[in-house]
Every structure is written in C-alpha cells, then in structure tokens.
Amino acid sequence: KNQVEQSPQSLIILEGKNCTLQCNYTVSPFSNLRWYKQDTGRGPVSLTIMTFSENTKSNGRYTATLDADTKQSSLHITASQLSDSASYICVVRLQTGANNLFFGTGTRLTVIP
Amino acid sequence: DVKVTQSSRYLVKRTGEKVFLECVQDMDHENMFWYRQDPGLGLRLIYFSYDVKMKEKGDIPEGYSVSREKKERFSLILESASTNQTSMYLCASSLQQGNREQYFGPGTRLTVT
C-alpha cells in the first residue's frame, strides 16, 4: 500500500536551534518527493523537490535529503526563526497515474523565542 | 508571480444548503485540483481536472461535484452541505508537463452548522 508517514507529529524548538523532520514512504514506483511549508491559514508552498538521483538539496536554511534505497527523506532547518513556525508536508509522486500524489499528514513546528 | 485565488477565506453555511467554492488561477495551468484538509488526516483529493469540461474523481468525491467551464476556473459544489463537510478546502493548479509543482490557493475554511 502506498503511504507517506511523517515524524514527529509536532515539535517545539527554541529560536536559533536546528531541527530535523522525517518522512518515510512506501510509494512505488517513485518519481519525486517534495517538501511543502504551510503557514497557518494559508495554502502549502513548495520548498524543494527531490528526484531519485538527488541525495541533498538546499533552499536557504532548509536542506532536504533523500535516501531512495531506504525510502526516507529528511528536512533539516538550520538556525530556526520564528517565521519557520508552520506545518511541513512531505508529498511523494508516483511515476504513473493521474491521481499519483501521496501526502503525509505533516509535522507542526513551533519556534519559540 | 503565480497566483491561485479562492472566492472566500471563511464561509458559514447551514445543513442542506448548496455551497459553491470557486478557484481561479492565472498561470494557464492545465491541471486543477480540489482538496480538503482535516487535522490528523492531511490533504485528501476530492476531484481534479486536466482540461476544460474534464473531471476525475479523487479519493473522497462523495457529496461533492465540480465544474470546469473555463481553463482558469474550477468550482467545487456541495449539493447539500452536511456537518461532516466542515473543513479547510484547498484548490491547486499545475502544468501537465515538467515537474508539475502544485500551486495552492489560500484555502476556504467552511463551517456547516
């Protein structure tokens, strides 16, 4: 069964600290994996996309990793800021099919001063 | 700058009412999507459309219908609203080719009383 699981469900960290969010998936055949950031009351916005051949990709203070063998991805946030408080959603795409996106339930990150 | 707009940010309707949620995108995208988002369940696909007048059922189409008369506009219809349709509704659009990133609207928080 194609599934995407994220952990932790929620996380609270102090401003300036680093954190890592996890995404495990069983989706196959895999096409790509995307991390979205969703601010409260807003729609998700793409942070980064990882394809099969990519191990690491950075977008400012956000760094995503992908291990296609173990079907795991992580999103590392460096030197967190209050504006990083949001939900982070992992989305995996199948290679084929019209309805081919599988969404994780997200990690709710709260950065406190 | 890409833009997906939704007709209302907040909506309160009574049980049994007919509800229209409208979504407009200005990116000339072929694909459009309607999701609902509930705590602990993540985003679930209701319907999607890959062309004008075309529609496909997603994972949870029961109780909903859609209309796409123009390329830029995709409407979600609740024929007879029920309390279990209280949710956040998100519209998205994407190209049919390339990495097909989905661009999301700001969402409509619908409450059915």
pLDDT digits (tens, 9 = 90+) for A13-56: 999 999 999 999 998 899 999 999 999 989 999 999 999 888 99
Q: Are A67 and A13 contacting, i.e. CB atoms less than 8 angstroms apart?
A: no
The reported pLDDT for the residue numbered A2 is 85
In the predicted structure, residue B72 carries a pLDDT above the cut 90: yes
Does B42 touch chain A if contact means CB atoms closer than 8 Å? Answer: yes
Nearest CA in chain B to A44: B104
Taking contacts as CB-CB distances below 8 angstroms, the residues of chain B near A41 are 9, 106-107, 109
Taking contacts as CB-CB distances below 8 angstroms, the residues of chain B near A42 are 106-107
Cross-chain Cβ contact A46/B101 below 8 Å:
yes
For the stretch B37-61, pLDDT in tens is 999 898 999 999 999 999 999 999 9
